[in-house]
Amino acid sequence: MTHAPPQSETSATAPTASFRAGHIALVGRPNVGKSTLLNALLGEPIAITSPQPQTTRDQIRGIVTTERAQFVFVDTPGLHQSRSKLGAHMNEAAKAASTSSEIVVVVIDLGRGEPTLADADFKLIEEMSAEFKTIVVVNKIDLIKEKVHLLPVLERLSALSQVAAVIPLSARRADGLDRLLGEIEPHLPESAPLFETDALSDKPVRFFVAEFVREQILRKTRQEIPHGVATVVERFDDSGPVVHIDVVIHTLRESHKKILIGKGGELLKQVGTDARARVESMLDRKVFLKLFVRVTPAWQNSDALLTELGYAKVEPT
């Protein structure tokens, strides 16, 4: 599949009299499926996913345009107890998205067995709905065998007067998405489209290249290594028939570097092969991707290094 070029905000396209457009923040705790939901809404896997918690580190806008509205979804990092400046950056990104959006969608996951509403989720919903227009998405209902057990949870959530709607759905199966869009649309202001109607995201291609490399590291390594990794595109040359890209993988320790490279360079080769396939699908062109691993100690707790690696301080838009 090809990826529409990243776009800047624009009001060049005239709307119909009743056209609506606005931002919708997707917030929630780690691993509730926010990125999977964004990808399902777009029909394109632009947000990286993995079984690892805190996969998303920055705001990622995904744009869905219909005949009547343009929905600018803002995927955010999972809210968590931060233990580093990187973690603080991630929480700031989530809170900034909520402040600058017309509506907040709180995504929760009730678990695989008999569904239970975690206290942390209920508290987050209460906090968000007290300040913002809020819709609650109960995700991963395909994993709940006895759907009748959902009813008490849905009733408890629906009893919150500030919550506009409670929507059970399965992002993985793309089930319930039309209802979600239908509930969001009336809350968006009448407006011209904020982006070109064929845009999927406002992020540049270089951002996605670095993310696709990080995604493969997340999927191919375990424990502390994925969270000690940052990826940066240092060369992007698309002037010829083949796009040449160099990506530097920053890691915290020499021991992590050895693991990332793997015996005979095998792991790094696998990461590059799978990431290159994602990039080629996005660009619809052949890509020559080179990966380099660099030890950058304590980058997660250095303001200067976080800025250099692309994690600048987040401000509400």
- At 36 the three-state DSSP class reads helix
**Sign of the Cα pseudo-torsion (252, 255, 260, 261, in order):** positive
Confidence of residue 84 (pLDDT cuts 50, 70, 90): low
The structure tokens listed for 51 are: 């079984």
Average pLDDT, the chain: 85
pLDDT, residue 94, reads: 59
pLDDT tens string 88-135: 555 566 566 678 899 999 999 987 777 888 898 998 898 899 889 999
Question: Which domains are assigned to the chain?
Answer: 20-187 (3.40.50.300), 205-308 (3.30.300.20)
The structure tokens listed for 169 are: 């759905």
Interior/surface letters 128-151, b for 16+ CB within 10 angstroms, e for the rest: bbeebbbbbbbbbbeebeeeeebe
Distance CA 230, CA 215 (A): 11
Burial of 78 (0-12, 13-18, 19+ CB in 10 A): buried
Distance CA 40, CA 37 (A): 5
pLDDT tens string 140-176: 999 988 888 899 999 999 888 889 999 999 999 999 9
| Whole-prediction pTM | 0.82
Distance CA 49, CA 46 (A): 9
Confidence of residue 85 (pLDDT cuts 50, 70, 90): low
pLDDT, residue 292, reads: 97
In eight-state DSSP terms, residue 82 is -
Concatenated DSSP letters of 234-283: EEEE-SSSSEEEEEEEEES-HHHHHHHH-GGGHHHHHHHHHHHHHHHHHH
The yes-or-no verdict on residue 25 having pLDDT over 90 is yes
Hey, which residues does 243 pair with through a beta bridge?
287
The CA-based diameter of the chain, rounded to the nearest angstrom, is 62
Q: Is residue 135 within 8 Å of 164, Cβ to Cβ?
A: yes
Q: Is residue 188 within 8 Å of 22, Cβ to Cβ?
A: yes
pLDDT tens string 181-234: 999 999 999 999 999 999 999 888 999 999 999 999 988 987 666 678 889 999
